[in-house]
Structure 1
Amino acid sequence: MAQANIIDTKLRLVFETGLDEQGKPIHKSKTYSSLKQSATPDQLYAVGQAVATLSNYPLAALNRNDSFDIVG
């Protein structure tokens, strides 16, 4: 049976930096790599909120991205 082994966890902060000609939001992101794989959603949310306070732009989204190796 195949197994998935987590190899990397990243936190992506998405900021709204303005509006385009049609009035749609423009987003820019910053990704932080090599996070603890055991980090809980609450911990990542707290870190994301703290880092976002250092930006001039409002935080639009926080994303957790996990990468896995699939082995047989």
Structure 2
Amino acid sequence: MAEAYLKGTKLKLVFDYGLDSENKPVYKSKTFNNVRRNASNDELYQAAQAIGSLSMHPLWEIEKNDSFNIDE
């Protein structure tokens, strides 16, 4: 039976940059690689809030992206 092994975790912060000339929202993101694999969701949220507070733009969304290797 195949099993999935956690390869890595990334944390993506999406910032709200306001509206463009057509009044459509503009978002820009920053991705942090090599996030500790066993970090809890609360720890990631706190880290994202701390990093987001350093930006001039409001933090819109926080994403956690895990990648896996699938082997037998």
Residues 1-72 of structure 1 aligned to structure 2 (within 5 Å): 1-72=1-72
Give unpaired runs (5+ residues) of structure 2: none
Give unpaired runs (5+ residues) of structure 1: none
TM-score by length of 1: 0.95
Aligned with 2:29: secondary structure? strand
| Partner Cα separation in structure 1 for residue 25 and residue 46 of structure 2 | 24
Give the count of matched residue pairs: 72
TM-score by length of 2: 0.95
| Partner Cα separation in structure 1 for residue 43 and residue 23 of structure 2 | 34
Q: Which runs of 4+ in 1 moved over 6 A?
A: none
Report the RMSD for the aligned CA atoms in angstroms.
0.7
Which amino acid counterpart does residue 56 of structure 2 have in structure 1?
N
Identical columns (%): 46
Question: How many angstroms does 1:12 deviate by?
Answer: 0.2
| Partner Cα separation in structure 1 for residue 57 and residue 2 of structure 2 | 43
Aligned with 2:39: secondary structure? coil
